Structure 1
């Protein structure tokens, strides 16, 4: 019987594995847009550690290996900004990205400050867009950041808030 994937809060010791995984996972995005200077590929270990300090980060582990990760933080307006949802290529298409998205939303659903969830992805990132839409996210803005490259911002309300409003 194989090992199962577990999801837990990241620790400071996970930073190097997260950074290596991030570098691996964003290669496809860089190729898709013809831009290898995107922030996930140029982020330093020190920058990542600082980001981990100011956000809530989850990792999915297969044994001791970090195979997926996601980060989020609530801003002053009460928006939980979800970022860098990454899944190792060999673990993709098995629901792990959706599990991580549900887990990070669940963490912030208990926070009174989290009035909404928001994330962004590139306009050509169909797999990501499909995942986010299937989890209730809807596009709220598109920003042209370079010729041939636009960021799509998607948003949704916390489930508890939606349920309470419909009751």
Structure 2
């Protein structure tokens, strides 16, 4: 497995991977319209062109991805995705570590996840992220914001 910078031509495969990876989150929160599931191909392509998007490639297949966007000296981390058949094998950890290394100018890394996403929260805490605040979105979702 190799982690590389994504290119605009990867947008379709990354979007497919993203949708597959976020189905379990949609089920967890009872909401099939969460942003990662309704994002367009053009939005994914633009994110690749304007930020740092890394992909994990194994045998020619993209099996994971993560995005980072610099806002001042803070890297906003988003859309960490791992193929459902590859989850639980350290790919998410490897992708986040690679993002930390490839954005050395960032003094902080910020991200968020849902309050019920215990696996995500464990991963982020293990990598040094600490909760900064909670934001109630509606009856079934509270966003947990974390910083490293």
Q: Which TM class, normalised by the smaller chain length?
A: over 0.9
Equivalent residue, structure 2, for 1:16: 12
Equivalent residue, structure 2, for 1:83: 78
TM-score, normalising length from structure 2?
Answer: 0.97
Q: 1:151 pairs with 135, 143, 146, which one?
A: 143
Q: 1:142 pairs with 127, 134, 139, which one?
A: 134
1:40 is displaced (CA, Å) by 0.4
Gaps of 5+ in 2: none
Q: Which runs of 4+ in 1 moved over 6 A?
A: none
In structure 1, how many angstroms separate the alpha carbons of the residues matched to 2:34 and 2:88? Answer: 24
Equivalent residue, structure 2, for 1:48: 44
Gaps of 5+ in 1: 157-167
Equivalent residue, structure 2, for 1:120: 112
How many residue pairs match? The answer is: 148
RMSD, aligned CA: 0.8
1:45 is displaced (CA, Å) by 0.4
1:115 is displaced (CA, Å) by 1.6
Q: Does 1:27 align with 2:29?
A: no
Pair member with larger Rg: 1
Equivalent residue, structure 2, for 1:60: 56
TM-score, normalising length from structure 1?
Answer: 0.87
In structure 2, how many angstroms separate the alpha carbons of the residues matched to 1:46 and 1:128? Answer: 27
In structure 2, how many angstroms separate the alpha carbons of the residues matched to 1:119 and 1:22? Answer: 17
Three-state SS of the structure 2 residue aligned to 1:103 is helix
Equivalent residue, structure 1, for 2:123: 131
Task: Return the structure number with greater relative CO, CA threshold 8 A, min gap 6.
Answer: 2
